[in-house]
Amino acid sequence: MAVRVVRLGDPNALDAPFRFKKGDRVAWKRWDGSPDIEFSGTIVSGICEYVPGGGAYRDRYVIERKDGFYFGADQLDLIKLE
C-alpha cells in the first residue's frame, strides 16, 4: 500500500489518524508530562502521513499562541488542554 499525506480539514482526510483537530487547545509536553504553558495555543493546521488500514503514522501540527506567534510540533510532543 502507498503512504498517504493529507492536511487537517481536507475532505479526503476523514480516515487519517489525526490525534487532534482544528481548534483544539494544546501545549508542548514537558519531560515530566506536564504542559508548558509558554508554548501553548490553538491548533490551526496539521499534516498526517499514514498507510490506510493501519500501521505506523506521523501527524504534525501548527499551533498559534495567544501572542500571534506560531510553532510546530509532532503529536507525541503535545498534550491536550481542557
Report yes or no on whether pTM surpasses 0.75: yes
The three state secondary structure string of the chain is: CCCEEEECCCHHHCCCCCCCCCCCEEEEECCCCCEEEEEEEEEEEEEEEECCCCCCEEEEEEEECCCCCEEEEEHHHEEECC
CB 79 within 8 A of CB 69: no
Residue in this structure with the C-alpha cell 494544546, named with its chain if needed:
26
Tens place of pLDDT per residue across the chain (82 aa): 788 899 998 888 878 899 999 999 999 999 999 999 999 999 999 999 998 877 888 999 999 999 999 999 999 999 999 8
* Cβ atoms within 10 Å, residue 77: 16
Residue 11 confidence (pLDDT) = 86
